[in-house]
Amino acid sequence: MSGSVILVTGGSGLVGKAINEIVLEEKSKGNKEYENENWIFLSSKDGDLRERTATEAIFDKHQPTHVIHLAAMVGGLFHNMEHNLDFFRENMAINDNVLNASHKYDVKKVVSCLSTCIFPDKTTYPIDESMVHNGPPHSSNYGYSYAKRMIDVLNRGYWQQHGRRFTSVVPCNVFGPHDNFSSTAHVLPALVRRMHAAMQSGESEFVVWGSGKPLRQFIYSRDLARLFVWVLRHYDSVDPLILSVDESDEVSISQAAEAIAAAFDFQGKIVYDTTRADGQYKKTASNKKLRELCPEFTFTPFTTAVKETVEWFKVNHESARL
For the chain, the structural domain boundaries read: 5-316
Contact 141, 281 (CB under 8 A): no
Taking 50 as the pLDDT cut, the residues of the chain under it are: none
Q: C-alpha angle 235/239/244, rounded to 5°?
A: 70
> 280: left (phi > 0), else alpha (psi -120 to 50), else beta?
beta
pTM above 0.85, yes or no: yes
Q: What residues are labeled active site?
A: 144
- Cα distance between residue 32 and residue 231, in whole Å: 17
DSSP state of 33: G
**Residues 177/308, Cβ–Cβ less than 8 Å:** yes
Judge contact between 297 and 224, C-beta under 8 A: no
pLDDT, position 319: 76
Distance of alpha carbon 163 from alpha carbon 144, whole angstroms: 27
Residue 68: φ, ψ to 5°: -110, 115
Q: What are phi and psi of 224, to 5 degrees?
A: -65, -40
- Give me the phi and psi of 288, to 5 degrees please: -55, -45
Taking the CB of residue 66, how many other CB atoms lie within 10 A of it?
21
* Listed residue (19, 29, 34) closest to 227, CA to CA: 19
**With respect to CATH, is domain 5-316 assigned 3.40.50.720?**
yes
- Single out the residue of 148, 242, 144, 150 nearest to residue 184, CA to CA: 144
Cβ(197)–Cβ(189) below 8 Å: no
